[in-house]
Chains A and B, each alone.
Chain A
Amino acid sequence: MAIKRFVVGNYDDEAVLFPAVKKVRMAGYKMHDVFTPMPIHGLDVAMGLRDTSLHTAGFIYGITGTATALSGIGYALVYDWPLNFGGKPHFALPAWIPIIFELTVLFSAVGMVLTFCYLCQMAPFVRKHHFNLRSTDDQFTMVIECTDKTNIEGVQEFLKSTGAFDVHVQDAETGWWLGTYSKNIPSVDNAKTILV
């Protein structure tokens, strides 16, 4: 990843943030992301994010679990070592349903959580740049990505006009890196912070 320049606008209420997101999109600025302390329903739609496909992944993991259980038990009890349990058929499907169900749920849950962590690039000892530490507490942070052609002062003025109580510029690493949060990072300390 690379270090890029961003205009950061902080809002103190989602009721101000919503119209601001709409105005920024209408004006055509490139929105990097919006960081919020809690889920805000509809914000993804307002930002124009497509719906997640995590459900589909969960379904695929689920049927993988079903197939694993069915084939595994079938292999063990019918093909590999058919044992006689009280004269019942070797292929005793009704008695297998509990384990088939449990493995379906297990595969689906574990698979979805791992996929979630992969998509969001989250793991222990993963470190990212956080634009505003209060955005996990009570502030809402909108981040606009700048290019060579961006009029940075103009963007800052625009965010001010949408109701941001604090607007500044940060240079930040966009990806993740291995590290702990107990160490200071040079890119944050050296980031140029220009307040309007």
Chain B
Amino acid sequence: MSAFRYESQVRPPLVTGDKTYHQITVDIVRPIENRPSRLWWIGFLTAVLLLCFGIFSVTRQVIYGVGQWNLNKTVGWGWDITNFVWWVGIGHAGTLISAILLLFRQGWRTGVNRAAEAMTIFAVMCAGQFPIWHMGRVWMFFFILPYPNTRGPVWPNFNSPLLWDVFAISTYFTVSLLFWYCGLLPDLATVRDRARLKWRKFFYGMASFGWSGSTKHWQRHEALSLVLAGLATPLVLSVHTIVSFDFATSVVPGWHTTIFPPYFVAGAVFSGFAMVQSLLVISRKVLGLEDYITIEHIDVMNKIILLTGSIVGVAYLTELFIAWYGQNPYEFFAFFQNRANILSPLGWSYYIMMGCNVLSPQIFWFRKFRRNIVLTFFMSVIINIGMWFERFVIIVTSIYREYLPSGWSTYYSPSIWEVGFYLGTFGLFFTCYFLFSKFFPVIAVAEIKHILKRSGENYKEKMGPEEKESVEAFAHEFEHAH
């Protein structure tokens, strides 16, 4: 292994401008050391207001019960579980970028991984709210945990996908948090060592755990990142697979399909990348990080959006085909009457889903559109609306007219408190994201420095003699000399 890997001249640089290591530190740490802008305060306070509305809505729901929502006997899962699946899905892009692309040795991930991982953590926090408060008697939530109790003991049903979900989501949250924080340690130490103010020295000194940058520590850190990435890769696939089992293991027409796990995972990555685009297109502009989150990064992520959007499209069509080919009358009714029939009460939602998720991303076949920032931002919002409708279609259009016509509930619309809860999670998400962008480095400083010499615009020249020399040869020589 040579000390520095050579990168082809054909690849565009991932760090633009004339950068040195010190310049990278200064650029990325600047938002932390400066006072927040007026724009930051406006965004932050709006997010806090939304969060307050959410807390108010949830408080009403705890006091008066789930009856505050417009759910009924037939539509028992409405906005609440739709939002849960939507938020969990959004989280998946962060782990994909940080773990799967690390295993694939994709250099471009270094520009976006920190923000994407933070997004994952905040999105999973938001997602977790929905099943918890949906319980109604939320103060008894610990009944779902397996602990020796005086009621028998009665254990939770380990064969139930709903309990798998509890384990999957909590493991996912923990592992994502650890992965994110371990990556942050060296960068927090950088902020600590630059700090002039006393509170900053205290806070970043505590938060960086006394990181020193010793070579042995870096060696362990690299090993840890690699193994955590190896663990997070099957984990992220398992999480949305298990979420899809909540539906797929039931006998509800429209849910009971074996295609769900891969289809859910692709959809999750799709919506997650759309959210990463929404956040980073704004962040790079506001924080002045255009040299690190370049148009190349946006281009590559749009390619992934195109790929996963098309996978989702194939899954939709496969479902329709199997509903026809399988000749199960209930399945056929769910797909061709409840969904694909635009004149049915909720048929419109199916076409919003198809339009936003399958048709609109196809414009990204064109390089010109992939590299258009305004269009990318617009598309990222469209895709997230589409993906929300996907979950709405799966959940509500399957159960509102099931087997027995006497149990049909032809129309379901959310109450203001259901909507308020959803808006409240937006508040939670953006409150966290604004705080993160103020107090933590939004880009992995050390990782950018690591790729600078081979992917930086001013360094992408040629391998020097030093890079060609092998350290293994030196180690061998050393052993013989002593």
Interface residues of A (CB under 8 A from B): 14-15, 18-19, 22, 25-26, 33-49, 51-52, 54-55, 58, 62, 72-73, 76-77, 80-81, 83, 85, 88, 92, 95-96, 98-99, 101-103, 105-106, 108-110, 112-113, 116-117, 119-128, 130, 133-138, 176, 180-182
Question: In the complex, which residue of chain A has the Cβ closest to the Cβ of B226?
Answer: A55
* B residues near A43, Cβ cutoff 8 Å: 3, 215, 218, 471
**Are A113 and B182 closer than 8 Å at their CB atoms?**
yes
Main secondary structure of the interface of A (DSSP, over half): helix
| 0 or 1 for each of B171-193: is its CB under 8 Å from A? (1 = yes) | 10011001100100110011011
**Are B238 and A180 closer than 8 Å at their CB atoms?**
no
| 0 or 1 for each of B2-14: is its CB under 8 Å from A? (1 = yes) | 1111000000000
| Shortest 8 CB-CB contacts between residues of A and residues of B | A181-B205, A138-B21, A122-B209, A182-B202, A42-B471, A76-B155, A95-B159, A126-B210
**Are A138 and B182 closer than 8 Å at their CB atoms?**
no
**Are B218 and A36 closer than 8 Å at their CB atoms?**
yes
**Are B153 and A122 closer than 8 Å at their CB atoms?**
no
Further contacts, 9 of them, CB under 8 A, given A35-B213, A73-B158, A137-B22: A83-B157, A98-B242, A101-B234, A103-B167, A109-B228, A117-B209, A123-B209, A127-B205, A128-B212
* B residues near A102, Cβ cutoff 8 Å: 164, 167-168, 171, 235, 238
**Are B206 and A41 closer than 8 Å at their CB atoms?**
no
Give A43 to B216 CA distance when docked, in angstroms.
Answer: 9
Q: Would you list 18 pairs from A and B whose C-beta atoms are within 8 A, ordered by A residue?
A: A18-B469, A36-B213, A62-B231, A92-B159, A98-B164, A105-B235, A110-B178, A113-B228, A120-B216, A121-B210, A123-B209, A124-B209, A133-B193, A135-B212, A135-B213, A137-B25, A138-B22, A180-B205
**Are A58 and B207 closer than 8 Å at their CB atoms?**
no
Give A169 to B87 CA distance when docked, in angstroms.
Answer: 55
* A residues near B469, Cβ cutoff 8 Å: 18
**Are B158 and A77 closer than 8 Å at their CB atoms?**
yes
Contacts A116-B182, A135-B213; A81 near B152 (Cβ below 8 A): yes
Within 8 A of A (CB), among B117-170: 146, 152-155, 157-159, 161, 163-164, 167-168
Task: Sort chain B's interface into a size bin.
Answer: 35 or more
**Are A120 and B217 closer than 8 Å at their CB atoms?**
yes
B42 within 8 A of A: no
Q: Of the listed stretches B54-62, B391-399, B446-454, name the one at the interface; the rest are far from the partner chain.
A: B446-454
* A residues near B466, Cβ cutoff 8 Å: 15, 18-19
Give A109 to B130 CA distance when docked, in angstroms.
Answer: 26
B461 within 8 A of A: no
B18 within 8 A of A: no
Contacts A41-B3, A76-B158, A116-B221; A33 near B193 (Cβ below 8 A): no
**Are B1 and A41 closer than 8 Å at their CB atoms?**
yes
Question: In the complex, which residue of chain A has the Cβ closest to the Cβ of B475?
Answer: A45
**Are B153 and A81 closer than 8 Å at their CB atoms?**
yes
B73 within 8 A of A: no
